[in-house]
Structure 1
Amino acid sequence: MQLTIPSSLDQFIGSVKDIDLSSRQQQTIGLITAATVVTSYTFYRLLFKGPSDGCPTVPYRDPIKGSSAEYRKDPRAFVEKWTKALGPVYRVHLYGRMHTIISGRYVREIFMNNSFDFHTGIEKRFDMKTMADISHSDVPINDTRTSVVQYLTPHLKHFTPRAVENLHLGLKDVLGTMEDGSVEIQHMYPLVQRMVARASASVFVGEKLSQDLDLIASFQDITTDLGSMIRFENYWLETFSFLMKLKMWAIGKFSSKVKKHRTTMLRSLTPEIDLRLSCAKDDPNWQKPNDILQELIDHAEVPRGRDIYTHIVNEIIVLIFASIHTTSENGTIVLYRILQNPELINELLEEQQETIEHAGLDPNGKSNEVFTFDTIKGMVKLDSFCREALRLRSEFYELAHTNISKQNVVLSNGTIIPPDGDVLINSWYNQQSNSWEEMRKDGEDRAQFKPFRYLNTGYPSTKVSDDYLVFGEGRRACPGRWFAIQEIKTIIALLIRDYKVRPTSDILFPTSLDTAMPFGSASFEKRN
C-alpha cells in the first residue's frame, strides 16, 4: 500500500482555504503537515490491534482506513451483521484507529466508570472548543456542567414563562404574519433552531439581550457554521488525528466566521457585564437579574491572562455548543414524526386542552401563559411521542468514550480497554434492535415507531435507560435534558395549537451517517 502524500497535502490545504488563511499561514501548515504525514504513516504501520483478551475483531484489509468505507456505505447493515456475528462486545477499525464496540448490558460499564470520558472521545474528531479559539483549561467541562446543574435545572419553573414567550417569538420570526393564510417551509431545522436559539438566549443572557437580533443570530448559527468547516466528503483526513487537530486549530485561529461570532458576542455582552458589575458595586437596591449570565459573573474565576468579558463569552459559547444544536436537532426529529403521523395531531391537541383546563386555565385562549412548567410536564402523550421519536434517531456507533486513566479497564466479560483506548456505543442495537431480548417486551417490534409506547410506563422522555441512550446514562448523563425536553414539547404544543400543519412532500428519515435529521417540506396555516 502507498500513501500518496502530495495528493493528501493538496486535499488538506484545499480544505483550509475557506478558513481565510494567508499564503504564509497555508505554507506553514503545509510544511508541518508534510512532516506529520510521513511520521504518522510510520506509526500507523504499527497500529494498535487491541490487547490479547480474546475480544473478536471485524476483519479488515486496509491498515489505514480499516472498515470505515464498508461502515459508511451501509451503517445499519454493517452494525447488524457484525453484532450478530461477534456478539455484544467486539472491535472495529474506524476513523484511523481501533475502537471497542459496546452493546447490551455492557454499556453501563462504560457510562458508570469514571475512567471513561465522553468529551475526550468526541473531541478526537470534533473539538468545538478549539474551533472556537477556546482553551480547554480556560473552560473545563465541569464548569459547563455546574452552570446547568446549579443554575439552570433547579430554576426551570422560573425560566419557563420567558422561554415559552421567546419560543413563540422565534416561531413568528420564521413564519411571519402569514397574511396570505399559509406558508410552506422546505426543512424544519431552521424553524426549530430559531425557536431554540431565542428561548436559550433568554435564559442564558437574560430577557433584554435576548432581543438583540445580532446576538440571537450568533446563538443560532455558531455551531452549524463551525461544523460546516469540518467536511468529511473524502474522509481521508479523519484517519490522521494530528491533521484533524491541526485543521481545527487553524479554524479557531484564522476563521472569519469564528471572529465574527466572537466579536458579536463581545460587543453585546461587554456593556451588560459592565452595567451589572457597576450596579452590584454602587447600588445597594439593585436587584440581580435571574439568568445564567449573572451566575457566571458572580462566580467568575478568570484565568490568568484573560479578561472577564472574554472569559464569560467563552463560557456562553460552550453552553451554546452543549445545548442549541442538539436540542434543535432533536426537536426537528420529533416534528418530522408529527408530520409523518398527522392523524395524531388532534389526539395530542385534545390532551393539551385537557391538561390546560385541568390546571384551571382557559384552553381556548391564545395566551402563552397557559404553557406553564406543570402543564407542559402534564402532556404525557406528547412526552411518550418525544421519547419514541428520539429512540428511533438515525444512530449506529455513537457516544465515543476514551479511557483517560493510566490503567487498563477490564470489563466483566474480560475485554480490556487500555489507557487512551477508544470505545463506541452501539446505539442502534440498544435502542432499535429486536435481537436484544433483555429489552424486548411482549413481542413488540422495536424498529417500529409506536408513539405511545411509553405512556404510563414510568419512563418519561428525560429518563435514561439501557435502551434509551439519547442523553447518555449514569451520573454523567446530559444534565440539560429537562430543559431540552421542555423546549421540544413546547415547540410542538405551540405549533399544533396555533397552526394546521401538514406535509407537502414525502418525509424521509436518513439511514446514512451524514445526519440524524429527516427531510421533507410542510405547510403551516393559521387556525381560526
Structure 2
Amino acid sequence: MVLTGVLQLPEKVFERLPDAVQVYLERFKDASKGKQAAIIFAALVSGRLVWGIGKEQYMRLTKNLPPNVPYTLPIIGNTFEYFSDPHGFLRKVQERYGFPARIFVLGQKQTIVGKNMVREVMMAGDDKLSFSMGVRETFDLLSMLQFRPRPSGGKMTHELVTKHLTPNLKNFTPRVVRMLEGVSNEKLPSTNEPMTVDDTYALLSTMVAKAGASVFVGEKLCENRKLVELFRTMTSEVGEAFGRYALLQLLPSVQKFFIRYLWQYVFNVNRSYKVIIEAIEPEIQERERGMNGEIPGWERPNDILQDLIEDALPRGEERGDMLRYIAQDIVVLVFVSIHTTSHNSNLALWYLALHPEYVDELLDEQKQVFSETSDEDQGTPWTGTAIKKMVKLDSFVRETFRMRGDGADLPHKVISEKDCVLSNGMVVPKGEIIQLNLLEVNTDADVPGGHPEEFRPWRFVAANKNAIKVGADYLPFGMGKHACPGRFFAIQEIKTILAMIVGKYEISTPDDVDMYPRLGGPNNFKPKGRMIFKLRH
C-alpha cells in the first residue's frame, strides 16, 4: 500500500496514475495527519460545490424551475443579504422576478412562493409536502433534545393539546389568572412609585412560564422555582447555544452530523431532564397512591401531568423509562408554548406602550364587559367569558401578529417520490424546501381597513376575524389540519396578560424603541427598550 496516512492506495493503482498526480500524492503523504484531513475536507467541500452547480444546471435544462435569484459567493449564496434585510430582499425579489422564486440560503436551494400559492402549499397532502420535515432541515429539535421515542408508541404533542388542553380552557383559566397575578404582584409596583423594567421579555416569560406550569404539571409544582425557571429559559438557552454554531447552517450535511453526534457536548439536555424528573417523581408517587385509594378524599388533579401518568401506567414501563418519557413530553410542550407566547405577549405589550392613544378604548371595553359578567363567581373578573367578550382586545392582538415582521417562513419539504409541480406549472425538485412569503401575506392591500403598512388595532373588530381564526391571510398558527392546536390557549393567555396590565398599570417608554432588531435570523427578533410601569388609579 502507498500513503499510510489518512489515505491509502494499492501500489498498482498508484503506479498507473499520471506523474503530476503521483507528485501531488507524495507531497500529501509527507504532510501531517491534520493537514491531510484538512486537504481531504477541502476536496470534499469543493467536490460537493462542483456537483451542486452541475446538478443545478442540469435541472434548469430539464425542469421548469422558478427563476433563480443570483448570488456571488458559493456556499453563502443569498444568506447574508436575506438575513440582514429580509423585507428589503423579499421586495427586491418580488420586483425583479416575482414569486415563486428560487433562492440559495443556508447551504441549500429553497423556493419562496407568494400569497396566491399559500393555500395549495398549506393544504397539500402529507405524502407530498411536510412541514415537520421542513423545520427539521434547519432546526432538528427532537435530535437536540435527545428525544427517545416510546417503543410502545404514545400520545403526540398535537393529541395532548387537542384532547386535554383545549377542551379544559375554561377550567384552566382561573389558575392561569392566579399565576399571572402572582408574578405581576411580585415583579411590578404596588405603590404610586413608577418602576422601570429593563427587560420586558424576562418579565413576561416568567408570567407565561408559571401560568404554563400550572397547566402542565399543576399548581403545587409551580412553587418549585427551579422547575419554573427551567421552563422559562430552556428554549432561549437552546437557541443561544445553537446560535453559537450558526455558520454550520451553511453546510447542511455538516450541521446534521454536528447535531446528531456533537450537540450533546454543547448543550447538556440531560441536566434539564434531571431537574424535571426530580420535581415530578415525588408528585407522581403521591398521585399513584391517590389513584390506588391510599389517600382518603383524594381528588384527581386536572392537568397535563395527570393525563401523561394515566397514559403511561398501563404500559408497564420501567420506572426510569416512564419518568424520562413524561419529562420529554413536558419539554416538548414547553418548547412549543412558553417562548412563542412570551415573544408575542412582549410584542403586543410594546405596541400598547408605543400607542397610548388606544388605551382608553380598551379600558372602556373592560368596564363594559365586567358589568356584563359580574355574576360569574370565580374570584376574579378575569374569567374566560370576560376575555372572550373583549373584541377590541382580540383585534389588537391579531393586528400585532400581522405586524410582527415575518419574512419567509413555514418551510415545507417535498417528500413525495416525484417533484412538486405548482399550480402555475413550475417545479420544486423533490427533497427541497418551499417557504411562504409571509411579508406579502401580512401586507396585502385587501386587509380589512386598508393601509396595511399602518398599525390599526381595531381593523378586525367588524371583520369577523378573531385572533384564533386561521386562514391563507393569517398564518401565525399555520392553517388546515396542521394548524397549531395550542393557539386557543396561547391567544387567551396573551389577551389575559394584556388586559390585566392595561387595567392595573399605566405603561410608557423613555426610549426610541427598535421593534424588530434581528437576532440571527429573518424571523428572530425581540423589541429592545425600557418600559415604565405605574400603578393606575
Change (3 A) 1:268 1:508: same
Q: Supply the distance in 2 between the matched residues of 1:174 and 1:129 (Cα, whole angstroms).
A: 34
- Which among 96, 108, 129 is matched to residue 107 of structure 2? 96
Secondary structure (helix, strand or coil) at the match of 1:91 reads strand
- Which among 492, 511, 527 is matched to residue 486 of structure 1? 492
**CA deviation vs aligned residue, 1:285-321 (integer Å, no higher than 9, x gap):** 6432111111111123869886110000000000111
Give the C-alpha shift of residue 255 in structure 1: 4.4
The answer for the alignment partner of 1:165 in structure 2 is 178
Secondary structure (helix, strand or coil) at the match of 1:446 reads coil
The answer for the alignment partner of 1:14 in structure 2 is none
Task: Report if aligned partners of 1:132, 1:252 keep a CA contact under 8 Å in 2.
Answer: no
Give the C-alpha shift of residue 353 in structure 1: 1.3
2:372 is the counterpart of 1:376? no
- Which among 152, 159, 163 is matched to residue 146 of structure 1? 159
The normalised TM-score by structure 1 is 0.86
Secondary structure (helix, strand or coil) at the match of 2:196 reads strand
Task: Report if aligned partners of 1:361, 1:370 keep a CA contact under 8 Å in 2.
Answer: no
Give the C-alpha shift of residue 116 in structure 1: 1.9
The answer for the alignment partner of 2:354 in structure 1 is 340
Task: Report if aligned partners of 2:148, 2:325 keep a CA contact under 8 Å in 1.
Answer: no
The normalised TM-score by structure 2 is 0.85
The answer for the alignment partner of 1:206 in structure 2 is 218
Task: Report if aligned partners of 1:139, 1:315 keep a CA contact under 8 Å in 2.
Answer: no
2:527 is the counterpart of 1:527? no
Give the C-alpha shift of residue 156 in structure 1: 0.5
2:427 is the counterpart of 1:403? no
Q: Supply the distance in 2 between the matched residues of 1:372 and 1:248 (Cα, whole angstroms).
A: 44
Task: Report if aligned partners of 1:132, 1:251 keep a CA contact under 8 Å in 2.
Answer: no
2:472 is the counterpart of 1:466? yes
Change (3 A) 1:125 1:303: farther
- What is the count of residue pairs matched by the alignment? 490
Aligned partner letter, 1:509: M
Q: Supply the distance in 1 between the matched residues of 2:417 and 2:163 (Cα, whole angstroms).
A: 31
2:375 is the counterpart of 1:390? no
Change (3 A) 1:102 1:141: farther
Give the C-alpha shift of residue 417 in structure 1: 2.8
Aligned partner letter, 2:536: R
Give the C-alpha shift of residue 142 in structure 1: 6.8
Give the C-alpha shift of residue 495 in structure 1: 0.6
Rg (Cα) greater in structure:
2
- Which among 204, 211, 214 is matched to residue 192 of structure 1? 204
Task: Report if aligned partners of 2:152, 2:315 keep a CA contact under 8 Å in 1.
Answer: no
Task: Report if aligned partners of 1:45, 1:63 keep a CA contact under 8 Å in 2.
Answer: no
Q: Supply the distance in 1 between the matched residues of 2:37 and 2:381 (Cα, whole angstroms).
A: 59
**CA deviation vs aligned residue, 1:67-121 (integer Å, no higher than 9, x gap):** 1122123221110011222223111111100001011121111111122222221
Q: Supply the distance in 1 between the matched residues of 2:334 and 2:306 (Cα, whole angstroms).
A: 16
Give the C-alpha shift of residue 169 in structure 1: 1.7
Change (3 A) 1:181 1:422: same
Give the C-alpha shift of residue 250 in structure 1: 5.4
The answer for the alignment partner of 2:342 in structure 1 is 328
Task: Report if aligned partners of 1:40, 1:240 keep a CA contact under 8 Å in 2.
Answer: no
Give the C-alpha shift of residue 252 in structure 1: 4.9
Q: Supply the distance in 2 between the matched residues of 1:33 and 1:94 (Cα, whole angstroms).
A: 25
Give the C-alpha shift of residue 524 in structure 1: 0.8
The answer for the alignment partner of 1:22 in structure 2 is none
Q: Identity across aligned pairs (percent)? A: 32
Task: Report if aligned partners of 1:205, 1:292 keep a CA contact under 8 Å in 2.
Answer: yes
2:222 is the counterpart of 1:222? no
Q: Supply the distance in 2 between the matched residues of 1:208 and 1:31 (Cα, whole angstroms).
A: 59
Per mean C-alpha deviation after superposition, the further-off stretch among 71-80 and 328-337 is: 71-80
Task: Report if aligned partners of 1:75, 1:511 keep a CA contact under 8 Å in 2.
Answer: no
- Which among 254, 276, 279 is matched to residue 265 of structure 1? 276
Q: Supply the distance in 2 between the matched residues of 1:228 and 1:303 (Cα, whole angstroms).
A: 38
Give the C-alpha shift of residue 403 in structure 1: 1.8
Change (3 A) 1:33 1:505: farther
Give the C-alpha shift of residue 460 in structure 1: 0.1
Aligned partner letter, 1:467: D
Task: Report if aligned partners of 2:65, 2:427 keep a CA contact under 8 Å in 1.
Answer: no
Q: Supply the distance in 1 between the matched residues of 2:47 and 2:174 (Cα, whole angstroms).
A: 59
The answer for the alignment partner of 2:249 in structure 1 is 238
Aligned partner letter, 2:443: Q
RMSD: 2.9
Q: Supply the distance in 1 between the matched residues of 2:369 and 2:362 (Cα, whole angstroms).
A: 11
Aligned partner letter, 1:124: E
**CA deviation vs aligned residue, 1:6-27 (integer Å, no higher than 9, x gap):** xxxxxxxxxxxxxxxxxxxxxx
Give the C-alpha shift of residue 135 in structure 1: 3.5
- Which among 66, 75, 78 is matched to residue 67 of structure 1? 78
Aligned partner letter, 1:44: L
Change (3 A) 1:168 1:473: same
2:327 is the counterpart of 1:313? yes
Which aligned pairs between 1:93-132 and structure 2 lie closer than 5 A? 93-113=104-124, 114=126, 115-132=128-145
Task: Report if aligned partners of 2:448, 2:459 keep a CA contact under 8 Å in 1.
Answer: no
2:504 is the counterpart of 1:498? yes
Change (3 A) 1:180 1:34: farther
